[in-house]
Each structure stands twice: as structure tokens, then as C-alpha cells.
Amino acid sequence: MPLNFKQPQGQPQRLGYLVAQLAPGVATSGLAMSGMESKHKQLTKELSLVADEIIRTIGRYQTRYRAIHIYGDQSFWIGNSKALRQLDQRIDSLAKGNQPVLIRANKGSGKVIAARSLHCLSRADTAPFIESDCNEWEECAVASILQSLHTYANGGTLFVRNIDALSSSSFQALRAFWLKAAGTQFDGTYSLRLIMSLSSEDAPLASFQTQWLAQNAQELRLPALSERYGDLRDLAQFYIREFALTAEFDLTEEAWQLLESTDRVRDVEQLKAAIQKLALIANDSLVSADELRSVLM
């Protein structure tokens, strides 16, 4: 099976082939034709799933590369939990369309990472990614602010954060802006991609806002750290490498179990802060549960 990777606005690239080989000793001569066809269909389906997973992994590493070399920060996913793989699938599906996307997530869940991933999978490398926080907008200038942002983001992505901070009239301006922007194409190919986010997963919205978003936007919910089972150790070790003052340290198994069970680390930002404090007091290559407990209190 050929393995192809297609960049936005680019031609598919042949990465190679997936090849399946029967295990030694498996006989096929006695199988009826219908049985062979059934096995072939099942194998093709399984290979397609593997190919999709490889392509999504490449997309995730593209987002990481852009974060480091283009945006100059560390906004990229760390880990390979089932929740993250399912999120990859959802982002990949949303990237194929051009409807506005509303990101629902609490602080520290990776809203910027999700927005950049959508941009990376649906726009060319040179397309602009512009983000703006509604908390910083002046009430009387929302329409002109949006027009200016559109000028900078034309042909790329506009990420509007914290739309629950908008008043009713400001949200009406956002709605009117999108109705106009959605019909405007850049270079005859792509219109503006609009991504929005809420300040928290359950941030309150007026009924007319909820209705308009339900009719015009696709929702993307990000998993909390507690749902990303298996990612916590990868994340913690990443921050240990970043914050260790001298040689890197590790946690005892008891300390790891404490970190995985505590309710004082609810999101990635809290985990990062805990590891940063731990790096200041770590005097040995192994950090005990008592030492960890002292920074969690």
C-alpha cells in the first residue's frame, strides 16, 4: 500500500509503501477464494489505519517544528496517550473543512497548540497565523480591529481567543465580520480560517451566541491532563530536562505515583510550576515522595 503525505496547497509526496507479510507457517493454499478476498479486505483496512496514524504523527511533528523554529516557543503536544491520538483524528477531520472552529478547554489544555495544528494541516507553510485576545479589545472598536486582523491574516488563520469576554454588540460585530470574510477568497483559493476559543470549557454564553455557534462552527474539545493517561510522566520528564539546574533528576516510583494521583496538578501549567519548584530543591538524582509533597502543598 502506498504511503502518501500531502501538504496544504501542495502535491502528494510518496513517502514509501506499507508491506504486509504472512507469518511463517501460515498456509493459504487451502483457503477458498471468498476467504482470501475477506482476508485481503481486512488487511487493507488495517494497513489504512496504520497509514493514517503515521500521517497524523508526521503532522504532529510538523506542529512541533513550527513551534520551535517559527514561533520560537514550546507550544506542542508531548505524549502519545489514546486521548491525544483521538484528538489528532478530530483535528485532522476539522482541517479538511473550512468552517469556523470553537475550541472548548480549560486553561493549560493546549488551545494554542490545537489552533496551530489546525492551521498547519490546512494552510501552506507561508500562510499567516494571527491570534488576538478579546480581553484586549476596545468595546467601541471591535469592527475595525477585526478588519485589521483580517488584513494581516488573509489567506491564513485568525485565532480569536476568549470570545466569551465579548459583549452582545461585540459578538454581533464578530458574526457580521465572519459573514463577510467567509465569502472572500485569497489568491482565488483559500478564504480566511477562523478559530475561536473560550476562556474555560464551560464558559457561559448568551443564548443567541450559543445558537449561532451551534449553527456555524464545529466544536473541538481538548482533553484535560487527567484524561491523558500515560502522558504525565512524559510531560514531567520534559520539564525536568528544561528546569534541572545541574544534572537531570528522576522521581522515585512512590513520588511518581503521588504525582499521578494528586488533585493539585490539574493541568499542564500546574505540572510545569511543580517541576520548576522541585528543580530548586532537588539535591540528589532521585526525588522522594516527601520532597514532591512539599512543593505540592
Q: What is the pLDDT of residues 26-73, one digit of tens each?
A: 555 555 555 667 777 777 777 777 777 776 677 666 666 666 666 666
Residue 223 carries which DSSP code?
P
Sheet hosting strand 218-221, strand order edge to edge: 129-133, 157-161, 193-197, 101-104, 218-221
Q: Which pLDDT value is given to residue 41?
A: 77
Residues 144 and 172 grouped into a single domain: yes
Domain membership of residue 179 as a residue range: 97-224
Q: In the chain, where does DSSP find H-type helix?
A: 33-69, 82-95, 111-122, 142-153, 168-181, 207-216, 231-243, 253-261, 268-281, 289-296
CB neighbours (10 Å) of residue 270? 16
Please report which confidence band the pLDDT of residue 123 belongs to, taking 50, 70 and 90 as the band edges: confident
Domain total in the chain: 2
Distance CA 186, CA 14 (A): 28
| Whether 84 contacts 231, CB under 8 Å | yes
CB neighbours (10 Å) of residue 282? 25
Q: Which residues, 6 or more positions from 131, have their beta carbon under 8 angstroms from its beta carbon?
A: 112, 115, 158, 159, 160, 161
Q: What is the SS3 assignment for 141?
A: helix
Distance CA 291, CA 258 (A): 11
Strand 190-191 and strand 2-6: the pairing is: unpaired
Percent of the chain whose predicted confidence (pLDDT) is above 90? 53
Q: Which pLDDT value is given to residue 32?
A: 56
Q: Which pLDDT value is given to residue 12?
A: 62
Q: Which pLDDT value is given to residue 69?
A: 62
132 domain-assigned: yes
Residues 160 and 196 grouped into a single domain: yes
Residues 191 and 256 grouped into a single domain: no
Q: Which pLDDT value is given to residue 66?
A: 65
C-alpha cell at 78: 508531548
Cross-strand pairs, 4: 14
Residue 268 has pLDDT above 80, yes or no: yes
Distance CA 100, CA 216 (A): 7
Please report which confidence band the pLDDT of residue 133 belongs to, taking 50, 70 and 90 as the band edges: very high
Average of per-residue pLDDT across 162-182: 93
* Model pTM score: 0.78
Residue 210 has pLDDT above 60, yes or no: yes
Residues 273 and 158 grouped into a single domain: no
Q: Which pLDDT value is given to residue 227?
A: 92
Average of per-residue pLDDT across 190-201: 91
Single out the residue in 201, 224, 247 at which a domain terminates. Answer: 224
pLDDT tens string 222-252: 999 989 988 999 999 999 999 988 778 999 9
Single out the residue in 195, 224, 253 at which a domain terminates. Answer: 224
Which tops the pLDDT comparison, 286 or 51?
A: 286
Q: Which of 18-22, 138-142, 157-161 has the lowest mean pLDDT?
A: 18-22
Distance CA 204, CA 210 (A): 9
Average of per-residue pLDDT across 161-174: 96
Q: Which pLDDT value is given to residue 49?
A: 74
Q: Which residues, 6 or more positions from 262, have their beta carbon under 8 angstroms from its beta carbon?
A: 296
Residues 138 and 240 grouped into a single domain: no
Segment (H or E) for 131 = strand 129-133
Q: Which pLDDT value is given to residue 30?
A: 54
Residue that the C-alpha cell 488576538 belongs to: 132
Distance CA 224, CA 232 (A): 11
Residue 13 has pLDDT above 90, yes or no: no
Residues 194 and 241 grouped into a single domain: no
Residues 234 and 192 grouped into a single domain: no
Residue 23 has pLDDT above 90, yes or no: no
Average of per-residue pLDDT across 176-195: 77
- Candidates 68, 62, 45; CA nearest to 5 is 62
CATH of the domain at 175: 3.40.50.300
Burial class, 250, CB count within 10 angstroms (exposed 0-12 / middle 13-18 / buried 19+): middle
Q: Which of 33-37, 105-109, 125-129, 163-167 has the lowest mean pLDDT?
A: 33-37
Residue 139 carries which DSSP code?
G
Residue that the C-alpha cell 466544536 belongs to: 219
Distance CA 250, CA 255 (A): 9
Percent of the chain whose predicted confidence (pLDDT) is above 70? 80
Residues 290 and 208 grouped into a single domain: no
Q: Which pLDDT value is given to residue 189?
A: 55
Q: What is the SS3 assignment for 266?
A: coil
| Whether 4 contacts 16, CB under 8 Å | no
Single out the residue in 224, 249, 265 at which a domain terminates. Answer: 224
